[in-house]
Amino acid sequence: MGKSESLRDREERVNSRQRFCAACRSEKIDRPPVWLMRQAGRYLPEYAQLRASHSFWEMVRTPSLAAEVTLQPIRRFGMDAAILFSDILIALAALGIKIKYEDGGPSISPRTRSVADLHALREVDPYQAFDYVGEAVERVRQELHPQTAVIGFAGAPFTLAAYLVAGGPSKDVYELKVLASREPRLYTDLAGRIAEVVAGLLRLQARAGVDALQIFDTWSLHLSPEDYAELALPYTARVIASLADLKVPIILYVRNAAGHLGAAAGSGCQVLSVDGSIRLTEARARLASNIALQGNFDPALLAAPAERIRARVREAIAALDGTGYIVNLGQGVMPETPLEGVAAFVNAVREEAT
């Protein structure tokens, strides 16, 4: 039997779901899996078409619509994993906060700025508050080919606290930093409350059948390493520790990964998803071999000619030797992304076999 024969055998045996799960566990596989952050969304004409007759919130809260949007990118491009269509801000809605999605980004009210505000937050029973999420995951699992992986997710406590304190996207997380330094106890209690809700939401998704859970710490972009260690890491680590019994791989997404790599790797996650602030080969060299790496192509690469996309993807896979690596972007897909670019990106990975 020649080498090509055994590779072909392997190609047939390994399906997308096994490939994705193996990569999360840093096990050797035929090629790295591929999916894209924010792959379900506004750059897809079929999403825009549904969105024309439903509000974003309605789509998130209606399991049949959420499942449909989750499957749209898989049908078109065949990524190895589907990420549930939802939003990180549903955790704040469960606490009784009003969220409006507007053109300038989400707006959140009331803001939490005092002990009284904290006490006014609602008690959350995850199975009641997030019943629509569990139902959406079950639907996705039924409708999706069993050989494709499903990813559930939530926001990290720090990132959600930043939204809650600022009342919306905050350019520099100034409001939260001020609150945390002037009233450290209030910040600790607030981040702790959010961590409980996030842990409940992630557990529910795991029970409903997802293959991995991603925690988005988007606003770590604006933290120094010292502030990351104090304001973000402890709460993310607490969430991850509380889920240990589930044995579901946890992917932690951090921005400003160059500054936070070592700390984030100590959170207990199995996969670290990094932004464009660090070279993948440098991240790999600094991480222990039992932590897999995800990332970190620039979303703008998807607008480049297909040949350039293909070359960049091949280069990264070769440099990392393929193991313990999940091909992805360093940030979410942009709304203006050309469909051909996404196809070239996904196909470049699918043509690989290491």
Task: Supply the minimum distance, in Å, between the C-beta of residue 332 and ligand CP3.
Answer: 4
Q: Where are the alpha helices (DSSP H) in 257-323?
A: 257-265, 280-286, 306-320
Whether 132 is catalytic? no
Distance, C-alpha 290 to centroid of its chain? 20
d(CA 265, CA 116) in angstroms, rounded, equals 35
182: annotated active-site residue: no
Which among 43, 47, 87, 235 is annotated as catalytic? 87
Q: Is the peptide bond preceding residue 296 cis, with omega within 30 degrees of 0?
A: yes
Say how many residues make up the chain: 354
Task: Report, in Å, the least distance between residue 323 CB and ligand CP3.
Answer: 25
Please say if 238 is a catalytic residue: no
Q: Is 215 in the site for ligand CP3 (CB under 6 A)?
A: no
Q: Pick from 54, 107, 167, 169 the residue near ligand CP3 by CB under 6 A.
A: 169
* CA 243 – CA 213 distance, rounded (Å): 10
The question of whether 87 is a catalytic residue gets the answer: yes
Q: Does 51 bind ligand CP3 (CB under 6 A)?
A: yes
Shortest distance (Å) from residue 348 CB to ligand CP3: 20
Nearer to ligand CP3, 85 or 297 (CB): 85
Positions 127 through 156 that interact with ligand CP3 (CB under 6 A) = 153
Nearest distance, CB of residue 28 and ligand CP3, angstroms: 27
Residue 77 as a binder of ligand CP3 (CB under 6 A): the answer is no
- Please name the residues in contact with 305: beta carbons below 8 A apart, sequence gap of 6 or more: none
Q: Is 106 in the site for ligand CP3 (CB under 6 A)?
A: yes
Name all contacts of 173-181 with Cβ < 8 Å and 24+ positions apart: 173/219, 173/222, 173/223, 176/231, 177/227, 177/231, 179/113, 180/230, 180/231
Q: Does 20 bind ligand CP3 (CB under 6 A)?
A: no
- Alpha carbon 51 to chain centroid, angstroms: 22
Query: What angle (nearest 5°) sits at the alpha carbon of residue 24, between those of residues 279 and 76?
Result: 85
CB of 86 to ligand CP3, least distance (A): 6
- The residues assigned a catalytic role are 38, 42, 51, 87, 163
Give the residues lining the site for ligand CP3 (CB under 6 A): 37-42, 51, 56, 83, 85-89, 101, 105-106, 153, 169, 216, 218, 332
